[in-house]
Amino acid sequence: MNKSQVLQFYTEFTPNTDPFSLGYLFAELPDDLGELCKLIKCQLIHPAMVKKVRHLLTSYTKNEDEQFYTVQDMLEALVERNANGIIGERLPRERLIVSCRFHSLLLISMLRSKGVPVRCRVGFARYLSEHQLKYIDHWICEVWSEGEARWIRVDPDIGIVDLQGDDFLEAGVAWLMARDKEINPQLFGVKKSWGMHYIRNNLCYDLHAVLGQELRYWDYPPICQKGIDELDFEELQLLDEVSMYLQDPDAHLEELQALFLENEFLQFKG
């Protein structure tokens, strides 16, 4: 698969990012990535931020991740709460309380409606950690810049455009670093869950996302239902191989697709 084919692949809606009949809501979106991120934050509130705006909320005060799966689900709820659609004047009580996965999916849907190549990446963000001492579970986007001929990392939840360096580590990078004992796996996770199993799970989520199936946090492929100590040599080697390919999906998209199809324990079929 050549570069143009890869980029075309990432302009096509996946089942979870397709707005379907609600695509008209994207008719007058801005082109600027920073402005798009601001607009997304006018539609969504991360559950960690609820305390700051609780006094402005009514009945929607809890994490709503379980209420939605797709962008279509999200858009239907947004229209139900304010029929004007994707607007900057949406009141906090009219927004959805959802985490970073949903912020990323909404940006993907918006950009693909414009024909812009974009994909979700799953990993860990150091900038979300107090004193930047740990790496917190996080989902961001990679957006293709035609002018610069490169992928730009965008965090629509935090509103960061063009993330640089190792402030965000893709799950495959974290997996290989931990496997090579270059970094302590207990630095990776969120809340009370840390360690190698968390890196493994995010690695599988990143694989699915790169291949066009953005899972929810509780969608576990069979290999993620095993303890780390239960993984055999071949399974560990396969995860190593997936991790290496995910460092350059453009060059290895076909290999990733083949590995995914050949190994059912990597696939989520829920």
**Does the pTM of the predicted model rise above 0.75?**
yes
pLDDT-based confidence at residue 50 (cuts at 50, 70, 90): confident
What is the distance between the alpha carbons of residues 114 and 109, in angstroms, rounded to a whole number?
9
Domain range annotation of the chain: 3-266
pLDDT tens per residue, range 63-79: 899 999 999 999 999 99
Per-residue pLDDT at 54: 66
Percent residues over pLDDT 70 in the chain: 96
pLDDT tens per residue, range 195-253: 999 999 999 999 999 999 999 999 999 999 999 999 999 999 999 999 999 999 999 99
pLDDT tens per residue, range 141-153: 999 999 999 999 9
pLDDT tens per residue, range 104-120: 999 999 999 999 999 99
HEC sequence for the chain? CCHHHHHHHCCCCCCCCCCHHHHHHHCCCCCCHHHHHHHHHCCEECHHHHHHHHHHCCCCCCCCHHHCCCHHHHHHHHHHHCCCCCCCCCCHHHCEECCHHHHHHHHHHHHHHCCCCEEEEEEEEHHHCHHHCCEEEEEEEEEEECCCCEEEEEECCCCEECCCCCCEEEHHHHHHHHHCCCCCHHHEEECCEECHHHHHHHHHHHHHHHCCCCCCCCCCCHHHHCCHHHCCHHHHHHHHHHHHHHCCHHHHHHHHHHHHHHCHHHCCCC
- Low-confidence winner among 89-93, 109-113, 154-158 (lowest mean pLDDT): 89-93
pLDDT over threshold 90, residue 270: no
